[in-house]
Structure 1
Amino acid sequence: MTAIAQPDPVYLDPHAVAKAIGGKVIAGTNRVVAHAPGHKKGSPEISITVDPSAPRGLLVNCFSGEDPVAMKDWVLERCGEPAFTPGQKAEAHAAHTGLLKSKEAQKAFYDGHLTRRGFRLAVEYDYVDLDGEVLFQVLRYEHATESKTFLQRQPDGKGGWLGSRPDPIIYRWPEIAARPGEPVYVVEGEKDVDTLINAGLLATTAPNGSWPSDLSPLKGRTIFVIPDNDRTGTDKADKAIGLLQGIAKVKRVELPGLPDKGDVTDWLEAGNTIDQLQALAKAAMPAPANDNRPAGPELIHSGDFVRGFVPPDYAVDGIMQSGFLYSLTGQTGSGKTAVALLLALCTALGSPFAGRETKGGRVFYFAGENPDDVTMRWIGLLHEHALDADELDVHFIRGVFSVSEFLGHIAERDHVANRGALLVPRGSRLADWDRRDRFYVAR
């Protein structure tokens, strides 16, 4: 194919271009922004970069669905120049821009299918390397009546965009690299990352849940994974935990009182604080390597089989693991309450239970509908062991209620930290409560 000759670039003065099209020059740059034909209000729809290496010396980028070639013709016409005719680019120009043949075949970025339906571009999230170069963007589009949606794009090397994304990287990589060793919060979306970083924490995510193969920036750190409160959020959190186990200490942090489809930004905007979030994160236990959910048959190599395995974290050595629900069953009068109270005492003291070591920690005992019976038994147990009730880190809760709802109250009073066990009577609602990395005993 024969290259089509183009007139020499002549308009290399940004101020002359701005005057010709009624735009303005961005201070300190060679870039001009202006309204496209037919637009007079709001943000500028086109950006023109004066670049001697570009065809006709101009790069035109459009933000409202206009054809970039048509916009370039319009700019040239207003400047009194012949229209631009796209042709085969010279090899020297391709080398200058670093444009690869694989990119030449890719399509230009286009969002007209969204803007025509009333979507507006709300936020651009830049994914940058350690030098600050934008590798790609995630674009958030919002609508008055429809759910938000996202697109991705990458620079084409000429001042424009391609409707694709290169290999993924983690979001806010430079900030994480600049603070080695600090814990990192992993959340579902870029908005939540920005919320936490603006509050002084380190946070990251992956574009649409597509994690890079190189996770070395997170290696050796403590990672707090905060899921959104919906199925997608749970699945993405599970994926992140599975990928990060083995290279980092991973903890799952559930936010009490989070509304359906809510995220950490919603939780903070509802009046919760960063201090409360950090307390929940500090109290979280390491995420187990096996969450006991059913899975289909899978052929796994020996190395992959053991990689990322986290040994069981026993609350009572050999018989009770942290993060699991256990049920004490037996006939009436067989001693279930007595065993549960003894377990509470041993956990609070960090002393052996039935000859087995206990981890020790704070205990919550949900006394249920018959707190008087529990009170009498507890007094007797303390008397037998010559212990003072005021010196034990054991807390009793009376009445029948939703455990999941009461957990938020416990967190607000800063009673979650250093907890060892939750002892729950029959009748308490556990079905709506996600497992939270402590061990439970239901009588």
Structure 2
Amino acid sequence: MQELKQNFKFYAITYGCRVNQYETQSIREWWLSLGGEETEDPCEADVILVDSCAVTAEAVADARQMARKLGRLNPKARIFAAGCAASAAPQDFAALEGVAAVIPQVQKFVLLQGHPLEMRDFSTAGGEEGAARVFAPFRISAFKRARPVIKVQDGCSQGCAYCIIPLTRGPSRSRPVDDIVAEAQRLLESGHREILLSGVNLRQFHAGSGDGKNFWALLRRLDAELAPRWAGRARFRLSSLDPAQVTGAMGTECLETLEACRMLCPQLHLSLQSGSPTVLARMGRSPYSPESIAEAVAKMRAFWPVMGLGADILMGFPGESEEETEETLAMLRALPMTYAHVFPYSERPGTRAASMPQLPKKVRQEHAARVRELIARKKTAFLREQLALPSMLAAFDSADARHGNNEFFVDCRMEEGFGPFPGHELIKVEPLRIDRNMLIVRPAR
């Protein structure tokens, strides 16, 4: 083992969600602790990790093509094909040259249990079913990017008709709160100043069985323990939220928590998917109305007069009519959207929606294009509003990088002639102009 510790290099590539980025970082830290050296050249690597995504057919194809390419570039490397695509299409990866193991998503943590050049047994106690019932022991102490991710929840028990994630990541399970707080403290101590709290379905976060400690209680705990030292110097950002977390029974608690938290960015990302009640019903989504979302956002703007608002939008779902498409467009016109991730629907094997009558691909793309055009106009309008602000706090990607984000999740680029800046500190900047959907900024005077 000692010789192996001193003589292996690894290369890692990650597809898909922020949770995948987190898990890759945890594996990276484990391999580094064994004496491994990360390389940016896959041809130099003894071990290659392809951490894959399965949210769309294109995501699976991208990871498969990369694994094939890496096997041809470096036939001597041990390639681990892991993640959701490895769960959804294991046979596709197993047939590729150089793939030493295909590791389903719920068993990915086996890569934390041994030396990558020695591992031969990739089984876990209880198999995939057993692994899907526990919160896997991933942890991190640093991050390659300026904004580290903390994974607080995994899996999903909702079972939306279009979504393959419950089949690849299993049912919902939550991380112990003490572990989350400790990891946030480690990342702040290591110099990071913006942390993303992420999970597959944050609405299903629960600190313990039946104790009522949901995601909003977690956020209050983090703020109570960390804000006395870090408020004004560091901040949290939230990954995608279920609309039911900001409306209905959870809405009051949500608003009270957002207003009270001293370390939270004034920006939210909602998993809206559609603005049509009939499409949402076919999707099997949590019920919400465009009116309830608009009301919640209006209340947020009472304490966040300027806020970033993003969304996930899925267009071209089976049966989506022109009237239903217009309902989504009407909702988005009424909301103060500042950006969105818009996807045309993609059939996922094993999901209920895959057996529904499908719209032609061209129609799905056309529906998505109309939403993207609307969002682009709203994003431009928000950028112009940003120019009127006297200052903002930006987090840049590294000590000498020129690109980053402000608290409203607007892309920023530092004007030529300024910097570098110390570590990952939040820098008070003032906006100068807009260039290619980005704010050009300089340090505030």
TM-score w.r.t. length of structure 2: 0.26
Q: Which is bigger in relative contact order (C-alpha 8 A, separation at least 6)?
A: 2
Q: Larger C-alpha radius of gyration, 1 or 2?
A: 1
TM-score w.r.t. length of structure 1: 0.26
Query: Relative to total residues, which structure has the larger helix share, 1 or 2?
Result: 2
